[in-house]
Amino acid sequence: MGSDGKTKDHASELSDFFSFRKIADATSRYESAKYVIFGVPFDGTSSFRRGSRLAPDSIRLAYDNLESYEFSYGIDLTSSRICDLGNISVTESASEVVDSVQTVTQMIFSDGKIPIMLGGEHSVTVGAVRNLKDASMIIIDAHSDFRDEYMGNPLNHACVTRRALEILGKNKICSIGTRSVSKEERESKLWNDVTFIPAAKVKKEGIDRIIKEIDTSADRIYFSIDIDGIDPAYAPGAGTPEPYGLMDTDVRSLIDHFSERIIGFDIVEITPVYDNGNTSMLAAKLIQNFIASNEQKSKT
C-alpha cells in the first residue's frame, strides 16, 4: 500500500535493485519521498577516461561536506523528502543496464516521484527517457552524442542524443554547451531535429538570453547533465573533457529557471580518479540546487 493507504507503490520491488549506500539529507523512506536518488555505477562503453562507475559514491562523499540548509533558496533539505536507494546492480552489458534503468525509473515515475540519477556514463540516460515519450529534454554536454552507433554499439555513450531523438521526436531536445561534433554527425539529415547551442554562443550572448531563446511551454522536462558540458576549469574530473565550456553558474541558472518543470534529473560522466575533488563537489551542489529550487517554487 502507498502512504495514503490506498495506492500501491513499488517500494518493495525497487529495494531488490539497490545497495544500501545513502546520501546526506536523504532522510525519507521511499514511500513518503518526493525525490528519489539512485546511482548507476556503469562505464562499460566509455571511450577515453574510464572511472565514472566510481562517481555515485564520490558524489555522496562530497555531499557530506555541504550544509543541509540551502542558504540561496532558504530551504532545509532534510525536510525536502529525499530518499536514496543506493546503487543499482549492473552488468557488463550496456543494453542490460539501460533496461534496468528503464525499469527502475518507470516505477519511480509511476509512483509520482522525481528520479535523480547519479551516473555512470551517459548511456544510462536512455533508460530513463524511454519512459517519457511526451516530455521534452534539456541536455548539458560538450559533445553532440549524435552518432547512430559507435564502436558497433547503438547504446554507446556517444549516441545518447540520437537515441533520445528516436524516443521523443523532433524539436523536443535542446543540447547546450556543444563544442565537439564529428563530420558524420553534423551531416546527418536529422541534425536540425535537435537544437544544439554551442558553448561559444552562450559565452557571447549570456545565459539569460539563451534561456529566453529556448524557453517553451513544455511542462515536463527531463534534465541531463554530462559534466563535460561544463568547462574543465570547473569540472576537471570528466571522462571526455573538452576546453572552452560552460560556466558552472550557467548550468545553475538553467536549473533555477526550469526546476519547477523538471520531472527527472541526472548527472553523469564524472571520473573521480582524474578529479581534484571539485567535480564531485560541483555535482553534489547542482543536485542541491535542483532540489532546493524545485522546493522553493513549489511553495510559492
| Chain segment 202-236, per-residue pLDDT in tens | 999 999 999 999 998 789 999 999 999 999 999 99
Lowest mean pLDDT segment, chosen from 103-117, 146-160, 168-182, 224-238: 146-160
DSSP state of 22: -
Tell me which H or E stretch contains 235.
Answer: none
Q: Which residues pair with 178 in a beta bridge?
A: 198
Bridge pairing between strands 221-226 and 262-268: parallel
Strand partners, 69: 76
Nearest Cα residue to 297 out of 256, 263, 266: 256
- Region 156-172: mean pLDDT is 95
pLDDT of residue 7: 62
Return the number of other C-beta atoms located less than 10 Å from residue 6's C-beta.
7
Q: Are 26 and 37 in contact (CB under 8 A)?
A: yes
CB 217 within 8 A of CB 258: no
Which is nearest to 32 in space by CA: 5, 13, 59?
5
Pick from 258, 283, 298: which is nearest to 23 by CA?
A: 283
Measure the CA–CA gap between 122 and 161, rounded to whole angstroms: 10
Least confident of 43-52, 116-125, 228-237: 43-52
Lowest mean pLDDT among 20-34, 137-151, 171-185, 188-202: 20-34
Report the CATH superfamily, name and number, of domain 11-298: Ureohydrolase domain (3.40.800.10)
Average pLDDT of the chain, as a whole number: 93
Task: Check whether 155 has a pLDDT greater than 60.
Answer: yes
The per-residue pLDDT for 44 is 84
Section 133-139 average pLDDT: 95
When pLDDT is cut at 50, 70 and 90, the band that residue 2 belongs to is very low
Q: Domain map of the chain by residue range?
A: 11-298
What does the pLDDT read at residue 1? 41
C-alpha cell at 127: 533508460
Average of pLDDT values for 128-145? 96
* Per-residue pLDDT reduced to its tens digit, 17-35: 765 668 999 999 999 999 9
